[in-house]
Chains A and B, each alone.
Chain A
């Protein structure tokens, strides 16, 4: 049995169509996964299912042998799965410290919460400097750090990042990937959705290609990077073309 697994999940919003159509994926402990695929492939929806924001219509998500797909987000957070949503998704009018405090919302013990916030500050000293600034005044990179830090308050074992580098300058994005790398070295299980697929795959052990709500292909990240067909379909142009427009 895998560490975290989604089995045959079909899911969608409201009365809308199915976004995920019988998706099955397995995630092993202490590894890093990168999920790629075009817009609307269901990447974010998959995350929402795993962290309990969306209950699947069919199928289930299993974590450490326990079915979690009927649990509330709060209960899933308690089990050690954290989610850093797209666009950072902070509380703009709250200070950095208050945002981190919200990260530990489900902790009832104030003392413990305080310690953990200090821990996050040690990891991101810049956040400590800005601790009484409102989140909306932070730069894009700092906001991503805050969003990451907010999830770390709960000391999760699995972290899911939805497009962490979106809208960031390449240099800043690089910092984020380094941070993900560090978390990986600390033994965290990381699932990453990245529009910069090349970058994401480089930082991952395993890659999956999601399209039209189904798992189209999976394999070691290196293999996916080198697969010419996937390159053509999902990775866009070759790296040498790419450098031109970042210059």
Chain B
């Protein structure tokens, strides 16, 4: 029994991080219908930023999101401008976005690999390996901090979306792009900002996983597969769905990891994905999804 609860706790502390990663990805898909295969490679950039900030200037990895987020936001704006402005309105838009972001992922991977080589790295703040004990249970300290910060960012994101004028515009564009245009929303600008925010969130996630999971440039393929499963499960484009998907899968993978073995944990995600496609192709909370 203790074991079961312990595993649940571990799953929850992972879930918050997954939720942040999935939120950025969902935001970008929801607003622009871009399936951002490069999301996890942006996370890798965030990871390297926090790695070097820690190594060179001893900046705390969680605080380093204050550096990585603005940088990644700007990078997002530039990339959106160059890659996606041209293709809006193309009849093969959905497919093009996947292929373009896929190429983008290759480019980022190659560039990171060129500069930082393919060795495993990991940031090592003091709390990375400590645990918080209470009663018969323990919680990995680093994981707790990361999940709490992630949840904090998610709350910020939601407040932004629910209260500000830009937030309204972003949600409106997610729900009905044509109607948003009709009421005078500059959807191109909104898309650019939303893309920037999505990438900034990826950067933040990356900074936090940098001290929890060793990384190298090509690691992003493993992450993106997990994240894509999450958002398909959540019904692509639904932020709440992404949150539910993130926690559900984090917890189930924690159990699989405990009962079957850690190597099989990520299988959970893909099996869940296929299961979902089999039973309910539109995801938990999704409507019909098409390019």
A–B interface present (Cβ within 8 A): yes
Distance (whole angstroms) from the CB of B235 to the closest CB of chain A: 12
Q: Shortest CB–CB separation between residue B77 and chain A, in angstroms?
A: 20
One of B105-113, B173-181, B207-215, B218-226 at the interface: B173-181
Contacts of B181 in A (CB 8 A): 53, 73
Q: Is the contact region of chain A dominated by helix, strand, or loop, or is it mixed?
A: loop
Which 5 residue pairs are nearest across A and B when measured between Cβ atoms?
Answer: A74-B184, A89-B179, A91-B175, A106-B184, A77-B184
User: In the docked arrangement, what's the CA distance between A85 and B183, Å?
Assistant: 10
Q: A14-B89, A94-B171, A105-B165 are in contact. Are A73 and B184 (CB under 8 A)?
A: yes
Chain A contacts for B79, CB-based, 8 A: none
CA–CA, A13 to B88, complex, Å?
12
Residue with the highest number of chain B CB atoms closer than 10 Å, among A74, A77, A105:
A105
Chain A contacts of B184 at CB under 8 A? 72-74, 77, 105-106
**Within residues 11 to 37 of chain A, which ones have a CB less than 8 A from any CB in chain B?**
13-14
Min CB distance A164 to B, Å, is: 14
Tell me whether A92 and B186 are in contact in the complex, defined as CB-CB below 8 angstroms, given that A14-B89, A53-B181, A102-B168 are known contacts. Answer: no
**B182 touching A89 by the CB < 8 A rule?**
yes
B169: chain A residues at CB < 8 Å are 105
A206 interface residue per 8 A CB criterion:
no
On chain B, the residues within 8 Å of A73 by CB distance are: 181-182, 184
A103 proximal to B (CB < 8 A): yes
Complex contacts, A77 vs chain B, CB 8 Å: 183-184
Tell me whether A94 and B175 are in contact (CB under 8 A). Answer: yes
Question: Which residues of B are found within 8 Å of A72, using beta-carbon distances?
Answer: 184, 186
Where the two chains meet, the residues of A that have a C-beta atom closer than 8 Å to any C-beta of B are 13-14, 51, 53, 72-74, 77, 83, 85, 89-94, 98, 101-103, 105-106, 108, 150
Size band of the interface chain B makes with A: 10 to 19
Expressed in whole angstroms, the minimum distance between the Cβ of B87 and any Cβ of chain A is: 11
A90 is contacted by which of B90, B168, B179, B185 (Cβ under 8 Å)? Answer: B179
Taking CB atoms, residues of chain B closer than 8 Å to A90 are 176, 179
- Residues of chain B whose beta carbon lies under 8 Å from any beta carbon of chain A: 89-91, 165, 168-169, 171-172, 175-176, 178-186
Bound CA–CA A242/B185 (angstroms) = 41
* Known contacts A14-B89, A105-B165; is-contact A51 B182 (Cβ 8 Å): yes
What is the bound-complex CA distance between A51 and B169, given in angstroms? 19
- In the complex the two chains form, is A105's CB within 8 Å of B182's CB? no
CB contacts (< 8 Å) of A103 on chain B: these are 183
Instruction: Tell me the smallest distance from the CB of B146 to a CB of chain A, in Å.
Output: 30
Most chain A beta-carbon neighbours within 10 Å: one of B89, B168, B182, B185: B182
What's the Cα separation between A108 and B169 when bound, in Å?
13
Report the separation of the CA atoms of residues A73 and B180 in the bound assembly, to the nearest whole angstrom.
10
| A74 CA to B182 CA, complexed, in Å | 8
Q: How far is the CA of A94 from the CA of B186 in the complex (A)?
A: 19
Residues of A within 8 A of B172 (CB): 91, 94, 102, 105
Point out the residue from B89, B178, B183, B185 that lies within 8 Å of A150, measured CB to CB: B183
The chain B residue with its CB closest to the CB of A13 is B89
What residues on B are CB-neighbors of A101 within 8 Å? 168
Residue of B nearest to A75 (CB): B184
Of B171, B178, B186, which is within 8 A of A85 by CB? Answer: B178
Known: A13-B89, A53-B182. 10 other contacts (CB 8 A): A72-B186, A73-B184, A74-B185, A83-B182, A89-B178, A93-B171, A94-B171, A105-B168, A105-B169, A108-B165
| Whole-angstrom CA separation of A98 from B171 in the bound complex | 11
11 contacts between A and B (CB under 8 A): A51-B182, A72-B186, A74-B185, A74-B186, A91-B176, A92-B175, A94-B172, A98-B168, A102-B172, A105-B172, A105-B183
